[in-house]
Amino acid sequence: MAERIQKLLAAAGIASRREAERLIEAGRVSVNGNVISLGDKAELSDTVRVDGKVIRLERRPATKHRVLAYHKPEGEVCTRSDPDGRPTIFDRLPRLRSGRWITVGRLDINTSGLILLTTDGELANRLMHPSHELEREYAVRVLGPVDEAMLRQLRQGVELEDGPAHFNSIRDAGGQGANHWYHVTLNEGRNREVRRLWESQGVRVSRLSRVRYGPIALRRGLKSGEWDELTRADIELLRHSVGLTPLEQLARDEKPARRKAGKPHKKPVRARQSVYKKRK
C-alpha cells in the first residue's frame, strides 16, 4: 500500500515528518529516479533517495512506540556492524519482526552508560534535535588535581576546536586521591564533548558513563549489557519532553472514522451482554 513519503522517511528514522516535508520541498528526495513533490506517495518496493543516498524503507511495526534503555558497556560500538569485528550494542538487543531499533545519540567505544533506542523515528529525531536541549548527565572519574577555579571555568565555558562549550552543572561525587568522581550535565551531544572539556583544563578522564538522558535515568541495578523496556508512563515523559502528542490522544486521532448512520444493521441487535471478565 502506498503511503506519503514523509511518513515513510519518519518511520525509517531519517527525519521527523516536518523535517521530511522540508527535504521534499527542497527537491532533495527522489523516487525511482524522479524528484518528488509534497503529497506524493511511495511503496516499500520503490527506490527512495535522499541527497542521492538510497533509504531502506520499512513498515512501522504494530508496537511502533517501543523504547529501550540499554546499559552499554565499554568496548561496544553503536553501529549496526563493525568492519573491525568489534561487538556492537545491536548484538544484545531483542529482535524485531519488522522495523528496526533507532539509537538516540551515541557513545564512543570507551564510554559506558545509558543509550535509548526506539522503533519510533519521529521520537528519535526529536530527542536528538538540538532545539529541544535535552539535558544529559554523566558520571566522570577525573585523573589529576581539580580546584574551584577550574570548576568555575568549566561552568562558565571554554573554547573548543568546534566552538564554545560548558557544563550546566558539576557535582562532587566523592573519591580518594587523584581519582575523583563528578556528575556533570550539559545540553549537547557533540563528539567526545565531556572528555574534551575536562582535557581543556589539563586533567584526564579515566572513566565516563552516561547516567541520564532527558527525563530517563539509568536504573540502579541494571547490569552492563542489559536493557529495560520503558513503560508507557516513561514513554509519555519522553514524548512530553520534546512536545509530541500523548499516545492516548494519538491513538484517538489515528482511529478510522465511524460508519455513517443510515443503513440498518443486517443482523438484529441483541441484548447487551457484559464484556467484563474477571482477571486471573
- The answer to whether 17 and 122 have CB atoms below 8 angstroms apart is yes
- The answer to whether 203 and 153 have CB atoms below 8 angstroms apart is no
Rounded CA gap, 11 and 61, in Å? 9
215 CB-near residues (< 8 Å, 6+ apart): 234, 237, 238, 241
Phi, psi of 95 (to 5 degrees): -75, 145
Place of cell 519482526: 97
- The answer to whether 165 and 186 have CB atoms below 8 angstroms apart is yes
Provide the annotated active-site residues: 108
Q: Could you give the 3-state DSSP secondary structure of residue 107? A: coil
Using CA of residue 212, residue 215, residue 220, residue 224, what is the dihedral sign?
A: negative
For the chain, the distance separating the N- and C-terminal CA atoms, rounded to the nearest angstrom, is 40
Rounded CA gap, 251 and 44, in Å? 24
